[in-house]
Amino acid sequence: MGICEGRTVIVTGAARGLGRSYALAFAAEGANVVVNDIGTSLSGEGRDTSAADAVVAEIVAAGGKAVANYDDITDWDAAKRIVAAAIDAFGGLDVVVNNAGIVRDRMFVSATPEEWDATMHVHLRGHFCVSRHAVDYWRGVQKAGGKVDARIINTTSGAGLQGSIAQAAYSTAKGGIAALTLVQAAELGRYGITANALAPAARTRMTEGAFAEKMAAVEQGFDKQDPDNIAPTVVWLGSAESAHVSGCVFELEGGRITIERGWDLGPTIEQDAKWAPAEVGVAVDALLAKRPAPRAVWGS
């Protein structure tokens, strides 16, 4: 038996890249999988249901259980149908993996409101809508006397944790998802729900264009950028074994697993009096001298 035997999982954006790897890995560990994908381009345009169907066919051919869903994660009512698809097909829901996203790369000086809004809509609203309906379902189970052992697994990014040149909107959205995860973990534990986030680095449609040389597949040896490398941690986070882990952000690449320390308090100066504006500069310079150098913004 796999570590997710009998658990039911929704994976959004599951037709390609990381989402596909997650869906296949969950199924291989015994989970029932809802493969959600509307089949858009990298920028969020167009529709194609065949890619989700192909992942379902692959899971079923290997002896697993899966259904396809083509609802839009950003639509409130459609997101409810995604949750309902899991319940209708498999009798319940245990895990939501919020993986779907788009990217509209643009230097800040050239960014448009339309690109900004589209990026926020998919990443932030998409994470909200699906998780919110899932939480409604889980709270209902608990109120009816049932046991809840549920998981929300969100997707942030190195861009959201440290910034990325030409990705102001994407970085902002992904930073917001990391903060959302902390709030979900703090609020939802009482219902038997954990919330964690991933910052995965792997070969996908998003990364192949921006980091072509780094993301190139290797002919022999360990393929560090294979998206399948990320899936084992995601599957474990979706299992019953991870019930004690919540409010964490995991950076994952190849065989490396890192837990972020987040916005911790750094060097501090305090006095029992109001600062004069002219004094602040001296204090800040002293703090900067004590602060460890931060990681550079991607692309800088």
Is the Cβ–Cβ distance between 26 and 5 less than 8 Å? no
Among residues 209, 189, 204, 5, the alpha carbon closest in space to that of 99 is found at 204
Annotated catalytic residue, options 21, 174, 239, 246 = 174
Q: Is 174 a catalytic residue?
A: yes
- Rama region for 145: left / alpha / beta (φ>0; ψ in -120 to 50; rest): left
Our CA dihedral for 19, 21, 24, 25, rounded to 10 degrees, sits at -110
Beta-carbon count within 10 A of 58 CB? 16
**What distance in Å separates the CA atoms of residue 25 and residue 230, rounded to the nearest whole number?**
10
Is 170 tagged catalytic?
yes
Q: Which of 170, 171, 239, 246 does the annotation list as catalytic?
A: 170
Burial class (CB in 10 A: 0-12, 13-18, 19+), 89: middle
CB atoms within 10 A of CB 117: 12
Q: Please tell me which residue in 21, 80, 137, 157 is annotated as part of the active site.
A: 157
Query: Distances from the Cα of 160 to the Cαs of 155, 174, 260, 293, in angstroms?
Result: 10, 4, 12, 18
Which residue type occupies 106? R
Q: Show which residues are catalytic.
A: 157, 170, 174
